[in-house]
Amino acid sequence: MIRGKSGPIHLAVVSMGALAVFAAPLLAPNAYVIGVLILLGIYTILALGMSILFGFAGQISLGHAAFYGLGAYVSAVLTTATDTPFPFALVAGAVAAGVLGYFVGRPILHLAPFYLAMATLVVGEVAQVAFRELRPLTGGAQGLTNIPRPVIGGIPLDSNTAYYYIVAALAAGTFLFMRNLTGTDVGRALRSIKVDETAAASVGVDVVSYKARAFALSSALAGVAGVLYAHFARFISPDSFGLDLSISLLVGVVVGGSHRIAGALVGAIFLILLPEFLRAYGSLNEIAYGVILLVVVVIMPDGIVGFVERAVSAVARLSTRWRATRKSCG
């Protein structure tokens, strides 16, 4: 199931992770904490999507809120205006975001990094204007209310705990999918593009096609997260899908560590916990985002996970050296 890794330690980590995900809502003291856990699952999916694009293919996007929003609006409109069952709405949201991502990504991924960043900013800005202006569908600036909680197989998932398991299952599935993907030829092709586009192209990697597919996958995952958010919050408006979301998503992935799938998980936890800690300080929250992003980019470009990895290997080096010295002296 998981390629490239095995052994008792790895098995133990995976089973403990699975157990923690399963037991978390049972140990949560109240519904608010379960709500936070649901958001954590949603952000994990978002961050995993960003990590395939930014961490693996090395392409920046400052407009991912557009795809998150599209997923949310597609599913909200389908389930409120028609009687579409939740699983279909989920797929529709993901497909809509993925298809838009592909067709937006295909032309703009030709651009050099600075231009790509600006083009994706434009995508985000235009999408937010579209959410606001397509009033008959999106409800304009007031947004859409009374988005139903999903009903699956006739069972309504009204409680946060039930909804948590849906989100957790999708987040875990995404995580495993991404781990498998990194070991495949697609994952290797994407990493080769990040390291050197020209070299990748010279050995036969269709650079733009792979980049566009990574963008589409990343957008589709943002769409899934958007659907889950819409049916959790039960209310969406254009304000939920602005640039600040796109930037904090990038901050999360960079802070977590963009070169590892685990970094996305750390990033999602960071994104959920930071506002909880900074709540008391009001607008200092945003300043903190800025400062943290700056510090991470300047001082630890591989994020928390990369920092820990380097620390671990430094300690390992020290201990081998120490053992070697002891052997030669003794």
Partner 1 sequence: MDSAAVFLQFALAGLTLGSVYGLVALGFTIVYRATDIINFGHGELFMLGGMITASLVGGGYPLPVSIVLALLTVALVAGLTERVALRFNRLASPVTVILATLAVGLIIRSSTLLILGKEPRYLEPFVGGTLAMLGAVISPQVFLVLFIAASAVVALEFFFNRTHLGLVMMAVSINREAAAIMGINVRSISLLAFVLSGMIGATAGIVVTPITTMTYSAGLAVGIKGFIAAAMGGMSSAPGAVVAGLLLGLIESFSAGYIASGLKGSLALLVGLGIILVRPAGLFGGRTPR
Which residues sit at the interface with partner 1, rule CB under 8 A?
Answer: 58, 60, 62, 107-108, 110-115, 117-119, 121-122, 125-126, 129-130, 132-133, 243, 247, 250, 254, 283-287, 289-291, 293-294, 297-299, 301
Q: How far is the CB of 237 from partner 1 (least distance, A)?
A: 15
Which residues of 134-287 form beta strands (DSSP E)? 151-152, 155-156
Which residues of the chain form beta strands (DSSP E)? 151-152, 155-156
Cβ nearer to partner 1, comparing 35 with 140? 140
CA dist 256 to 32, 65, 92, 117, Å? 25, 19, 30, 20
Quick check: 59 and 215 in contact, CB under 8 A?
A: yes
Q: How far is the CB of 186 from partner 1 (least distance, A)?
A: 21
How many residues are recorded in the chain?
330
Cβ nearer to partner 1, comparing 168 with 247? 247
Cβ nearer to partner 1, comparing 65 with 90? 65
Q: How far is the CB of 296 from partner 1 (least distance, A)?
A: 8
Quick check: 146 and 234 in contact, CB under 8 A?
A: yes
Q: Is 152 helix (H, G, I), strand (E, B) or coil?
A: strand
Residue 170 φ/ψ, nearest 5 degrees: -65, -40
Among 182, 151, 160, 49, smallest CA distance to 105 is for 49
Q: How far is the CB of 18 from partner 1 (least distance, A)?
A: 34
Cβ nearer to partner 1, comparing 194 with 231? 194
Q: How far is the CB of 76 from partner 1 (least distance, A)?
A: 20
Please name the residues in contact with 70: beta carbons below 8 A apart, sequence gap of 6 or more: 93, 96, 97, 100, 127, 223, 226
Q: How far is the CB of 169 from partner 1 (least distance, A)?
A: 33
Cβ nearer to partner 1, comparing 284 with 314? 284
Q: What is the CA radius of gyration of the chain?
A: 21
Q: How far is the CB of 324 from partner 1 (least distance, A)?
A: 34
Cβ nearer to partner 1, comparing 19 with 297? 297
CB-facing half-sphere around the CA of 224: CA atoms within 13 A: 25
Among 38, 24, 20, 33, smallest CA distance to 227 is for 38
Burial 145-164, CB ≥16 within 10 A → b, else e: eebbbbeeeeeebeebbebb
Cβ nearer to partner 1, comparing 3 with 135? 135
